[in-house]
Amino acid sequence: MCRLSEFLTHVMGLDLAVVEGCEMCFFETDGERTMQVNRMRDTLDCYTFTLVFQGELTLLHGNHRLTLHRGDMYIYTPGFALTILDASAEYRGACLIVEETLTFETPIVRNMIRAAYFPVVELREPKLTLSESEVSHLFSRMKEIDECMRSDHRFKWESQQLLYGLFVLDVLNFQERSIKNHRHSSRSEDIFISFIRLLPQHFVEHHSVGFYADQLYITPTYLSRVVKQTTGRTVMDYVNQMLVMEASWLLRLTDESIAQIAARLHFADQASFSKFFLRYRGQSPGAYRRSSSYPGGGAGR
């Protein structure tokens, strides 16, 4: 996958000396600049938050066509294929891009990933529709992060983590409002939210639809139908993405062997774990680990 510094130099045309080692960036953008994303030949190893101030932006997120309007926030998660299809002449927006490794190293964000399936429960589309005050608030948070990155603050890295954590909490807060206002029957919504709350507690040990259905006292077929109708995704999509996220964290930031990680995540054996990881990440666990410069990343087991 493409690291942030590679994206900024090869795609956005910035000077390597300026962005080398960069883990987070903020910039305001227009249609012409946004179309440069299509130069990217690989998926991005970052979380990206794009606020739309005016105009329209149409993109392909994985296989899903998505049109963003004023007041929308698009949330890109690492590993998804992204193509910009069109940007209106008046399109203006702002982007905060954060490397996955920095997200894993930010304690409050790490906890929110586990507790609430960050970057948010995707209700059909990976976007939020925000009020003007919410857009203004999140843009202010982005600007705070940008000012911190440009400062000579003695504790700049720690400050960036704190500000990013606050930003994520604000996004989650607005997401909660979006979930509550979503137009589904209360019964379906209650089941879906209950499933999402169960997921971070049990996904390591339990990978089957049946387990979660049993916990909710409903049939696997009914749970599958509710999740599919509510989000357009399957129960296993959610379970597998949680497993991929956890596996990525363990490979990057621990010294556990791949066999140990496979056992910890309750795969039958290392081979089945490696096949699973390759399918969702496009790399073997060993290659993914070797690509990391963080603790645990150098142990190519």
For 207, the token pair is: 């990978």
Q: Supply the pLDDT for residue 123.
A: 46
Q: Please give the sequence-ordered ranges of beta strands (E in DSSP) within the chain, or none if there are none.
A: 24-30, 46-54, 57-61, 64-68, 72-76, 82-87, 92-99, 127-129
pLDDT, one tens digit per residue, over 73-128 is: 998 877 677 899 999 999 999 999 998 777 766 766 666 555 444 434 444 567 88
Q: Does residue 17 have a pLDDT over 70?
A: no
Point out the least confidently predicted range of 51-60, 129-138, 260-269, 282-291: 282-291
**Domains of the chain in sequence order:** 4-181 (2.60.120.280), 186-290 (1.10.10.60)
For 103, the token pair is: 């997200």
Point out the least confidently predicted range of 156-165, 221-230, 284-293: 284-293
Sign of CA dihedral 121, 127, 133, 135: positive
Stretch 223-227: mean pLDDT: 92
Q: Helix, strand, or coil here: 64? A: strand
Q: Supply the pLDDT for residue 180.
A: 60
How far, in Å, CA of 179 to CA of 121, rounded?
8
Q: Supply the pLDDT for residue 295.
A: 41
Q: Please give the sequence-ordered ranges of beta strands (E in DSSP) within 100-203, or none if there are none.
A: 127-129
Sign of CA dihedral 13, 21, 120, 219: positive
Stretch 123-147: mean pLDDT: 88
Residues 6+ apart with CB under 8 A from 278: 284, 285
Query: pLDDT confidence of 292, banded at 50, 70, 90?
Result: low
Q: Supply the pLDDT for residue 113.
A: 55
Stretch 251-267: mean pLDDT: 94
How far, in Å, CA of 205 to CA of 216, rounded?
17
Residue closest to 238 by CA, chosen among 123, 135, 133, 68: 123
Counting every residue written for the chain, the total comes to 301
Point out the least confidently predicted range of 17-21, 62-66, 292-296: 292-296
The total of other beta-carbon atoms located within 10 Å of residue 166's CB is: 14
Pick from 9-23, 152-166, 254-268, 275-289 the range whose average pLDDT is largest.
254-268
Q: Helix, strand, or coil here: 167? A: helix
Q: Which residues pair with 82 in a beta bridge?
A: 61
CB 262 within 8 A of CB 299: no
CB 48 within 8 A of CB 59: no
Residue 137 burial (CB < 10 Å; 0-12/13-18/19+)? middle
CB 93 within 8 A of CB 28: yes
Q: Does residue 157 have a pLDDT over 90?
A: no
CB 252 within 8 A of CB 283: no
Percent of the chain topping pLDDT 70: 82
Stretch 230-246: mean pLDDT: 83
Stretch 49-55: mean pLDDT: 96
Q: What is the DSSP string of 217-272?
A: TS-HHHHHHHHHHHHSS-HHHHHHHHHHHHHHHHHHH----HHHHHHHTT-SSHHH
CB 124 within 8 A of CB 233: no
Point out the least confidently predicted range of 18-22, 59-63, 169-173, 227-231: 18-22
Q: Helix, strand, or coil here: 173? A: helix
Stretch 247-260: mean pLDDT: 91
Q: Does residue 184 have a pLDDT over 90?
A: no
Q: Supply the pLDDT for residue 118.
A: 42
Q: Does residue 155 have a pLDDT over 70?
A: yes
Q: Supply the pLDDT for residue 299.
A: 42
The CA-based diameter of the chain, rounded to the nearest angstrom, is: 57
Q: Does residue 296 have a pLDDT over 60?
A: no
Q: Does residue 14 have a pLDDT over 70?
A: yes
Q: Helix, strand, or coil here: 58? A: strand
